[in-house]
Amino acid sequence: MKEKPLHGETSVDRMKREAGIHAAELVEDGMIIGLGTGSTTLYAMEHLSVLIEENGLRIQGVPTSFQTEMRARQLQIPLTTLDASPELDLAIDGADQVDPDLRLIKGRGAAMTREKCVAAAAGELVIVVDAGKCVRSLTGPVPLEVIPFALHPVILGIRAMGGIPVLRNGIRKDGPVITDNGNFVLDCSFGEILEPERLEGILTLIPGVLSCGLFCEFVEKTTVVVGEEGGCRELKRS
């Protein structure tokens, strides 16, 4: 089953759509799945909705954000929670950058804490990206979810590490972005990240940091679906 291209869709949109559809086709009847946050995951959810309506696919989803929850309800995807279903068959999510070892930077949608919880609960993590998200090394800003009480000590700690922290502000809202957990987001630039696992460990140990957008611990169960012009390819850890 293949959706028709939409009028005005860009090449990046087409690659995202291809990746999302491919990921949705990996879902089997009876599965409980994690539903990530972001535009590429939305394509997967839209195709899952088609499979539910036309093929009778029976699934339940655990959303990683309020936005994903609302979209899933609109698409009539049945939902559950980690409390009710603490072990998931797989999770479908996006990423901001993917390196050759399948380590990720995530968090552009400010949902990295819940996404990390869902990824940890899933037996398999399916990451959907367009080809432009695949990089030789991770270089993007690393989002941190920080409790407001500790914002300035965390900023000082990041600067002491040589990083450049920037408080993420709302686009159509005055003041900082507030996560689904009621916290702030710091986007921290470190240049080329030569040791992502080490940096993730250090950032996570800073008092006041709830989680960070480096995802290095899930590489063994990660499949990256890369949408490209004309189709998709799957990347797995060799």
pLDDT tens for 108-158 read: 999 999 999 999 999 999 999 999 999 999 999 999 999 999 999 999 999
Active site residue 197: no
> Quick check: 1 pLDDT over 50?
no
Confidence of residue 230 (pLDDT cuts 50, 70, 90): confident
At the fourth CATH level, which superfamily is domain 142-213? ACT domain (3.30.70.260)
pLDDT at residue 185 tops 70: yes
CA dist 118 and 112 (Å) reads 10
- At 17-63, the pLDDT tens digits run 999 999 999 999 999 999 999 999 999 999 999 999 999 999 999 99
Instruction: Check pLDDT > 70 for residue 6.
Output: no
Picking from 65, 17, 66, 6, the residue whose alpha carbon sits closest to that of residue 45 is 17
For the chain, the domains span 11-134+217-236, 142-213
In the chain, % of residues over pLDDT 90: 90
Q: What is the dotted CATH code of the domain comprising 11-134+217-236?
A: 3.40.50.1360
Average pLDDT over residues 65-92: 97
**What pTM does this model have?**
0.93
Contact 228, 18 (CB under 8 A): yes
Q: What phi and psi, each to the nearest 5 degrees, are found at residue 92?
A: -110, 125
Q: Residue 225 forms beta bridges with which residues?
A: 128, 234
Catalytic residue among 115, 192, 228, 229: 115
Position 48 scores a pLDDT of: 98
Say if residues 113 and 210 touch (Cβ distance below 8 Å).
yes
